Amino acid sequence: MTDTPPPETLRIGTDIGGTFTDFVVLDADTGQITLEKRLTTPDDPSRAVVDGIDVLRAARPGLLERTEILAHGTTLVINALIERTGGTTALLTTEGFEDVLEIRREVRYDAYDLELAFPRPLVPRRLRRGVRERLHASGRELVPVDTGQVGAIVDEFAAENVESVAICLLHSYADGDHEREVARIVRERRPDLWVSLSSEVLPEVREYERTSTTVANAYVQPLLAGYLRRLRSALDERGFAGNFYVMQSTGGVIPLEVARTFPVRVVESGPAGGVMAAARIGARAGISDLLAFDMGGTTAKVAAVVNGQAALTHDYEVARTAHFRPGSGIPVCTPVLDLLEIGTGGGSIAHIDSLGLIKVGPRSAGSVPGPAAYGRGGDQPTVTDADLVLGHLDPDHFLGGEMPLRADLAAAAVAALGEPLGLDAVATAHAIREAAQESMVAAARVHLAELGVEPSRLPVVAYGGAGPVHVVGLARKLGAPRVLIPPAAGVMSALGLILAPATFETSQTYKVKTDRLDLDLMDDLFRQMEKSAAQFLPGGDAGRVTCTRWADMRYVGQGFEVSVGLPGGDDWRSLSADEVTAQFKSAYESRYSRSYDDVAVETMNLRLRATLDGDGTVRLPTPATTGRTVSEALKGHRDVHLPGGTVRCPVYDRALLEPGMTVAGPALVQERETTTVLDRDATAAIGDLGIISIDLKGA
């Protein structure tokens, strides 16, 4: 009698991008992975997810029945905010504050632009209503809620087809009772409406940011809730009975029900997964400081990981009317990984600007119609078309041969762009590639400078379908010492979804000068936050939660804060106010190269991150060693156009490259989801973890 093999413990990560929807199936016990890619379906993103799951199920019967966790990353929220496809939303605010969304902060992001433009508020003026009530800044009630007025306002919403209501009352960060009272009336009169409370979404000072964030949450709530409901139902019909998680912008996942309540937390869902995977793989390789570079079909993303952690920011904006101009967008002040997103991806369209120069993006061909090479009706030249003309992509091996590319259509589109400039197709393709890399490098330099990070000391971890294709050129321009291409690089954001732990972040305003800090009160506030955060984590109420504490601090009179890490548990008892002040000054000096001894310091907000213990500990795949030689991994040769001329390049199959092997450039390393392009001076070594390591220091 033979022993029955133990059941598989599977996890599925699926990430929706602008061009492709990626899938990773990981056996949490063995580390073995299965990959899949499907074209994104913009009309209904869930269709691509279900189609991909069906393909995986056909190859692996019983897949969903044996899946314990499915983690999902989606661009639905940010797209809805940019494209204005959310639900009809109303705002209930304190009487006299109905125009906060248009008054903003009364600051011009460009003092000299006479045609300054701001995004339209998500809630039109007719649906912004004032409620008679008032709280003191301490939370003390000054005027009770006029419940009759609230009921009458809610009744009027029926004629406006309102789907969702944002409730943001003055000083509700100090006490949320008035907001809860208003919400009770709304739900009693209209139980079909979605309701978002600022005291739950963002209990912090600053009326405009708090109102904007709560409105954004309410605006996308009907859309995301309906999408997740349809997707979960489709998966249930196919036998899935596991936990459904959604990736947050912070790099941690939350249960589906929590995502429906706080959809604004998943505004940068997909990119966060890639950064978390890069940090995890860097840690396995013994690298704590790195630059994560993700180039997909629609955008490129850059994030710095320092001491194993990606920086978080709470000053995030969407739908900016001016690129890279803070203050020109809609504030969404929830924790977000501090990453730079650039409209330069494989599908980004190249054009000639008013100066006669070739520029790339931010418009993208997306998945419909896609680059000209896709043969789906697109006729404008994209970065992917240029890569194909240069020979960097194999037209017969795209997605492992499942989606052949049309080299003739790509060449025609690229040549048409270059014709007015007197350039042939190859010269134009070089110009497109150079323009794309320069735009990414210029933006990355500014972003890293703002973080106080020197790019020349950070190895670059590249992933996404187009990341390995362009990373060597980009890294050289940045002066980076090394490039790392991890296994499954083409779908690494999806892999990051299932490596991420379940987390929940919360905050609370506590504004006081540090010479008057009440550490016992701070500890009580943190403990209340811990209890609140744990209820949003599966099993969190059973005590399986680790909490990390921060305080947003600043010099008195400044308009921005620096987050300072604080201890918890027994270490809190030995903490003093002077130590808190000293930690702030150290953090401030590390970022701005100076500090001040003659200016008072104050706390603004307390922040807490709760992490579910035991999550994010699954094994990663480790490549086998069979003793084959590099020549056995050689697939053939292909003409590749590199700066300086055309070269007959060897093409290697990454699946056959083993630890200890080296590949000298110029060369191409092909895998199903992407291709690594090595230029003339690059040499790649395959490490023990299967990571392609390209040393650039000597070049």
Say whether pLDDT at 3 is over 50.
no
Task: Give a yes or no: residue 106 inside a domain.
Answer: no
What amino acid occupies position 299? Answer: T
**Can you point out the beta strands (E) in 79-188?**
89-94, 128-131, 134-135, 141-143, 164-168
468 and 592 fall within a common domain: no
Q: Are strands 243-247 and 67-73 parallel, antiparallel or unpaired?
A: parallel
Domain assignment of residue 453, yes or no: yes
**pLDDT for position 43:** 84
Instruction: Say yes or no to pLDDT of 161 above 90.
Output: yes
Distances in whole angstroms, Cα of residue 265 to Cα of each of 249, 275, 362, 561: 6, 16, 25, 21
Q: Are residues 339 and 441 in the same domain?
A: yes
Q: What is the pLDDT of residues 37-71, one digit of tens each?
A: 998 888 888 999 999 999 999 999 999 999 999 99
Same domain, 540 and 461: no
| pLDDT tens string 482-516 | 999 999 899 999 999 998 889 999 999 999 999 99
What is the predicted pLDDT for the residue at 110? 87
What's the average model confidence in pLDDT over 544-568?
92
Q: 621: pLDDT confidence band, cut at 50, 70 and 90?
A: low
| CA 110-113-114 angle, 5° bins | 140
Q: Compute the distance between CA of residue 391 and CA of residue 638 in angstroms, rounded to an integer.
A: 7
Q: Any residues with CB less than 8 A from the CB of 151 and at least 6 apart, and which?
A: 185, 189
Q: Are residues 478 and 521 in the same domain?
A: no
**Quick one: 329 and 442 in the same domain?**
yes
Query: Is there a single domain that holds both residue 336 and residue 441?
Result: yes
In a domain, 694, yes or no: no
Stretch 302-310: mean pLDDT, rounded? 90
Alpha helix locations (H) across 398-511?
407-418, 425-451, 467-478, 492-499
Final residue before a domain boundary, out of 478, 499, 520: 499
What pLDDT is stored for residue 235 in this prediction?
Answer: 95
Residue 493 sits in the same domain as residue 507? no
Largest CA distance in the chain: 84
CATH number for the domain that contains residue 608: 3.30.1490
Domain-embedded: residue 358:
no
Q: Is 192 helix (H, G, I), strand (E, B) or coil?
A: coil
Q: How confident is the model at residue 542, as a pLDDT?
A: 55
337 & 455 share domain: yes
Domain count, the chain: 2
Q: Length of the chain, please?
A: 699
**Residues of the chain with pLDDT > 70: what percent?**
97
Buried b (16+ CB within 10 A) or exposed e, 19-38: bbbbbbbbbbeeeebbbbbb
Whether residue 510 is found in the same domain as residue 486: no
Residue 374 domain flag? no
Domain boundary at 581, 612, 643, which? 612
> Which of 207, 199, 201 has the alpha carbon at shortest distance from 106?
207
CA 127 to chain centre: 31
pLDDT for residue 194: 97
Residues 443 and 547 in one domain: no
Residue 619's pLDDT is what? 64
CATH code of 471's domain: 3.30.420.260
**Is residue 466, in this structure, part of any structural domain at all?**
yes
Q: Which of 473, 484, 480 is nearest to 697 (CA)?
A: 480
Domain termination residue (choose one: 546, 577, 612): 612
Using pLDDT thresholds of 50, 70 and 90, give the confidence band for residue 699.
very low
Distance CA 309, CA 162 (A): 41
Would residue 176 count as lying in a domain?
A: no
- State the average pLDDT for the chain: 91
- Residue 424's pLDDT is 95
Q: 460 is in which domain, residue-wise? A: 269-344+437-499
Q: What is the pLDDT of residues 244-270, one digit of tens each?
A: 999 999 999 999 999 999 999 999 887
* 255 vs 215: CA distance, rounded Å: 22
Does the residue 564 lie in any domain?
yes
Number of H helices, E strands in the chain: 16, 35
Virtual torsion, Cα 278, 19, 255, 260, nearest 10 deg: 140
State how far Cα 222 lies from the chain centre. 21
Please tell me whether the overall predicted TM-score, pTM, comes out greater than 0.85 for this model: yes
Please determine, for residue 241, whether its predicted confidence score (pLDDT) is greater than 50.
Answer: yes
- The fraction of the chain above a pLDDT of 90, given in percent, is 68
Pairing of strands 545-555, 562-566: antiparallel
Same domain? For 284 and 305 the reply is yes
| Residue 133's pLDDT band (cuts 50, 70, 90) | very high
Residues 474 and 605 in one domain: no
